[in-house]
Amino acid sequence: MSANQKHYLVGYGSLLSHDSRSRHSNIFCPNMPITVNGWQREWLARGMAHLQTALGVSQVETASLNAVLLRIEQISPELRDREQDYQFIEVDPDSIVAARESGLAQAELANIRANPDTCKIFICANLNKIQASSQYPIYQTYIDTCLVGCFDMGVANFASEFIQNTHCWEHGWINDRHDCLYARPAIVTQQQHQQIDQLLEQHQVLEYRQETKR
């Protein structure tokens, strides 16, 4: 990558958490909350290395998802290893809207649009689209990591929007809080666990969670 080129990544899952991405993946950058139009978030990304189902995305014209815009130096070998079950797809900056509460995101997007040849935005789209199962479950500690990241955005209803515009909650979701199985968990307090469960129940998806250990 040339010295004047800038790369950005749309973080729509565990990368929402500053704690998780900094401690586990050495990604240090401020939160810039955004909405991305034309993409749908889904529990359909089969993770072969960690035997789990993670979040992925599909291009759907009428859909949108809330996320965080991350400045990265480059798509490094380490990042490609982290996202080995995904491909990096360039995103049109005009499909992205900054959260009104984030002047930083608004300014960054204005700069990106003014410099289309040197500023590129990417999203990680999953290579496989397979619903979760008992062999490849959704981990509650992964969900917790995503949602505490949403809490940190300082944007009203950001966590609720995350739940509402995420699809395919119905299969293979297990509660592993007593024995964390997710590889890059954020630090989550008991109070935050309660807040997360209240939101999941409010949006009528908590009923899909299995309380038995894997």
Domain 6-207 falls in which CATH fold?
A: Hypothetical upf0131 protein ytfp (3.10.490)
How much is the pLDDT for 144?
A: 98
Give Cα separations from 89 to 61, 75, 124 (angstroms): 16, 11, 6
Report pLDDT digits (tens) over 146-202: 999 999 999 999 999 999 999 999 999 999 999 999 999 999 999 999 999 999 999
Q: Is the pLDDT assigned to residue 74 strictly greater than 70?
A: yes
Q: Is the pLDDT assigned to residue 69 strictly greater than 70?
A: yes
Give Cα separations from 191 to 68, 195, 196 (angstroms): 24, 6, 9
Residues facing 125 on adjacent strands: 87
Range 23-41 average pLDDT:
95
Q: Where are the beta strands (DSSP E) in the chain?
A: 6-11, 33-47, 52-72, 86-91, 96-98, 119-126, 138-139, 166-167, 173-174
Lowest average pLDDT, out of 64-68, 76-80, 84-88, 127-131, goes to 76-80
